[in-house]
Structure 1
Amino acid sequence: MLEFTHSWWLVAASFAVALMAGFTGLTLTRGASTLPEAKRKNVVAMAAVVLGGGIWSMHFVAMLGLQLPILFYYDALITLISALVAILVVGLALLLLHFRQRSLPVIVAAGSIVGVGIVAMHYIGMAGMQLCRPVYGFADIAISTIASLLLSILAIWVAYDARTHRNILLGTVCFGLAVVTMHFVAIGLTDFTVAEATGAAGPLLDNQVLALGVTVAVFLICGAFLLTGITFVTPEEASADTKVESAPTVETSPSPDPLPEPVTPPKAGVPFEREGQTHFALPETIAALRAEGHYTLLYVGEEKLFCPWSITEAANRLEPAGFLRVHRSYLVNPVFVSSFERRKDNGTCYFDEVPALPKVPVSRSRLSVVRDVLGV
């Protein structure tokens, strides 16, 4: 059997790659379950590529750090297959999480699928080695698989138990540990021996060529990590010591009443004018209110009704009843929100059952509050 060592800076780099991929993939899918089906599929596909590609990249960054006393190569086709398997398996887990009701059995199933995907990627990748054969037994595979399953289930459970920043960060650490622990447990249980050259299924890759491909993959993961990380903390959650901002946006409420009504839910309903008479709409039937000068418009089903309240007075009276101020000009009833879409520093609430009001903008300053109320 051949003696081998590791380059420890590449070991550390492999762990960093796993963490960046985990953070990016878990952040991309935050709120995905509230998106329309087509957009949700796109988000799941992107997250699967990042997470699966991160598993593959972590493995081969670590393998580049594997130092053996002989020269060896990789079969390019088998190496590619290992990457595709990781992406497809992780994609299956994400489909379960975002297209099925997120119960404990679904979370355990998704975590198990991710764990199996990590194991499959590892051993398929190892099978691509040429001139050097990895030697391991059934017990070695079983121990590696158990470690991968337990840590992957933990990662998915932590990240999806609640889609908060804290859970995503903890889930990222668990995901990174799942990938790295499985790899090095498996490598620690593996022996290497010299093997004769066999007919490769594809072109042969030496470490220099493999390093080029891995570098490109890691570069893309780093880029995605930066893009998701820059918007991970919303303005309300950013540090208070941020002093310099270019062209700050100051939101002002339109003409608030000098003496607002007491902050109590309306007892007789919300008034609206029709044919010279004042009628009242029950708060639970109102989907949203929009500022119209010193007055507001009520959106009730297919109707737009004129209300004499200002948006400020409406907020004072209706927020205790569960209504949510999402914009300086909009107040919405969260019960009627059918889907939510995050758009950089702001967002949009959609109302599929309210034909007169297909969507409402969510301002940057209210984004975190809206997401907390909607649970995304």
Structure 2
Amino acid sequence: MSGIGSKAPATGAAKQSYGVKAVLAKNMSFTALILALILGGVIMSICGYNPFEAYGAIMKGAFGGKKAICQTLVQATPLIFAGLAYTVAKRANLINLGIEGQLYIGALGTSMFALLPLNLPPVPWIILALLCGMVFGGLYAGLVGFMKVRFGSNEVIATMMLNTIAVNFVEYAVNYPLKEEGKSIAQTAKFAEAIWLPKIVDKTQLTIAIIIAAAACIVIKLLFDRTVIGYEIKCVGQNLKASETAGIRIGKVMIIAMLISGAIAGLLGGTHVMGVDRRLIAGFSSGYGFDGIAVAALAADRPVAVILSGIIFGALRAGCMVLNRTTGVPTEFIDVIQALIILLVAAPLLVKEILRMNRKHTAISVKGGRTA
């Protein structure tokens, strides 16, 4: 009885400790954001700039009126897509650094369909064009998954190399076979107006793409929580050996995760060319694929949290425009803040890994001492 009674407090303490850790994990991203803003301000001060003036300008540019809010959401839209694409692959313990290339290929697929001389009603035409972009982007990412499973290739290197191929191939396409006749600019002809994404607010670039991005996050959340393949993706990401022992086909899950990740990146490319440029232009992306890493990091790889994370980074981007016009603060400080967020989110994981290795080393030393 005394043994059972003595274990009860320990169990209660373990549950309490687990609860504290869960709370800390949820608040880690928020803490990282606040610390990044504080450290960014300190760096500005050291460099001779007024951080309060800078952050004031950013807030004004991001939320200082209807147009500012619309601009924030416009900037947030591609970041939400990119962050979600990275999150899906990360859940399967895959590092997809090829989102940039996949969104280019997706944009190419959507553009090729949009330029066809079809007389379809607007809604099915838009849906089919976006689906075409998703298929192109998904297959391009799925190729990486297949190479990893079949040949054991490193997905980080493969995706980075495929980025270069995708960007150059799209540049070739808009310079030669798809180039608008009589124009010197590397771009396609403008799409038919029927296939343009509807605007939410007139005289802005805010389209239903933001709604599609938010809906995609919710769908992926449901996929993880309510479907077998979503459960398998999470299992593979958490413990590869245990998943294999449980009978999960690791290779199949990895390929599917890359297909879904690439499809979301392709959807990003498709919504951009149909909602912003309304044509395919060489070099249209400003690095959305890589910015998605920061968005996913701040969201702690949670699909729904990607929406808020994307809006936060979208606000920084929108505010950056006003920062550039009204103050003397260099806009590169926005990149510094973004880098600090990633660093501060990753740092606790690094510390945890160091402590784990230290405990393992101590245990080996103690065991060796006892043996001696």
Name the TM tier (shorter chain): under 0.3
Scaled by the length of structure 2, the TM-score of the pair is: 0.25
> How high is the TM-score relative to the length of structure 1?
0.25
Structure 1 or 2: more helix by fraction:
2
Higher strand content, 1 or 2: 1
Higher relative contact order (CA 8 A, sep 6+): 2
